[in-house]
Amino acid sequence: MIGRVAVASRSFSKHAVLRAELLARWPTARFNDAGASLSGDALVGFLAGCDRAVLALERVDEALLARLPELKLVSKFGVGLDSFDLPAMARRGLSLSWTPGTNARSVAELALMMALALLRRLPEAQADLRAGAWRQPKGGTLTGRTFGLLGFGAVARELAALLSPFSARLLAHDPVPDAAAAKRLGVSLVGLDELLGASDIVSVHVPLLPATRGLLDAARLGLMKPSAVLLNTARGGLVDEAALLDALDGGRLAGAGLDCFAEEPPSDRRLLGHPKVLATPHIGGSTEEAILAMGRAAIAGLEAGRPASDFLAR
């Protein structure tokens, strides 16, 4: 293949199968073998001289692009586009390849696991045992609960399907609802306030955009039942973490499952150590199956990008 490819993603770079499949099509591809999280000067140096790049959580902005005039196409390894300055990419005529839903089942299974664990109060039980205490906190079952899906994209639809055996009442809120999918999955489409107030579990599945940053602030968290649990396997900036901590401490929320944080890794460790929180280090898409699916989509995308301007209407 004609072209020079750089793979900045660490997980892609260390995956033997994906490396082999990429090299079969792009023999001169460059990988992030140092395993460093690349940004600023380091990312510019790594991408220099390449016209195509496979990126995951690396930030792409105007300042970076100004120093990489040869870069013409970015293929996304993963599903979120919040790390990309799409207007800047569009102004410079870059192409973008992005395949949503490649890790949907993986993230949905993590959300389901978190819901079950929090309802059974497993973080508290485990902490007690490790501290030498034998206490048996009374939890609850998922069966028959009301489960709210904040966002109704690929992950939420996978989660709705996984919830079928639990006879749960399923609610969803999405600015652009898929009525056909909702009907097929037995999901009721409702307003945001209704979802927050009625749900025993609220699972967040929306992209991080200017309009959704801080979506779950103190006022909206205050609409939730004190017995409810919140799950966020999407993006950390969607939840006001200070307000969440205050709600947990004040008994206005029963628990939280967090796979993502506003700052990663978090410097404020109060949520990480909270007895009502199940925290994981952004591993929703970290399954072998999801990594292969995301990687293969990124490889295919090196030949099939669309103008970045096409994504501005999202």
Give per-residue pLDDT as tens, 277-305: 999 999 999 999 999 999 999 999 999 88
Same domain, 141 and 21: no
267 band by pLDDT with thresholds 50, 70 and 90: very high
Confidence (pLDDT) at 313: 60
Question: Which 3 state secondary structure label does DSSP give 166?
Answer: helix
Average per-residue pLDDT for the chain: 95
Same domain, 201 and 259: yes
User: Which pTM does this prediction carry?
Assistant: 0.90
> What distance in Å separates the CA atoms of residue 289 and residue 86, rounded to the nearest whole number?
28
DSSP classification of residue 37: -
Same domain, 148 and 292: no
Confidence (pLDDT) at 2: 55
> What distance in Å separates the CA atoms of residue 200 and residue 256, rounded to the nearest whole number?
12
| % of the chain at pLDDT higher than 90 | 92
Same domain, 63 and 35: yes
Same domain, 61 and 108: no
Same domain, 109 and 98: no
Same domain, 292 and 186: no
Confidence (pLDDT) at 272: 95
Which contiguous run of DSSP H or E holds residue 24? helix 16-25
CATH number for the domain including 114? Answer: 3.40.50.720
Number of domains in the chain: 2
CB 202 within 8 A of CB 230: yes
Question: Residue 99: pLDDT above 60?
Answer: yes
Same domain, 207 and 152: yes
Same domain, 131 and 252: yes
How far does Cα 27 stand from its chain's mean position? 31
Same domain, 150 and 83: no
Residue 221, beta-bridge partner list: none
Range of the domain at 26: 5-102+287-311
| % of the chain at pLDDT higher than 70 | 99
Give the CB-side neighbour count of residue 271, counting CA atoms within 13 A: 30
Confidence (pLDDT) at 1: 46
Same domain, 117 and 81: no
Active site residues: 235, 264, 282
Same domain, 155 and 241: yes
Task: State mean pLDDT over 195-221.
Answer: 96
Confidence (pLDDT) at 219: 98
DSSP classification of residue 118: H
314 band by pLDDT with thresholds 50, 70 and 90: low
312 band by pLDDT with thresholds 50, 70 and 90: confident
Q: How far is CA 308 from CA 57, 68, 93, 115, 167, in A?
A: 17, 16, 7, 36, 42
Question: Residue 156: pLDDT above 80?
Answer: yes
Task: State mean pLDDT over 58-84.
Answer: 94
The C-alpha torsion from 154 through 157 and 159 to 165, rounded to 10°, is: -150
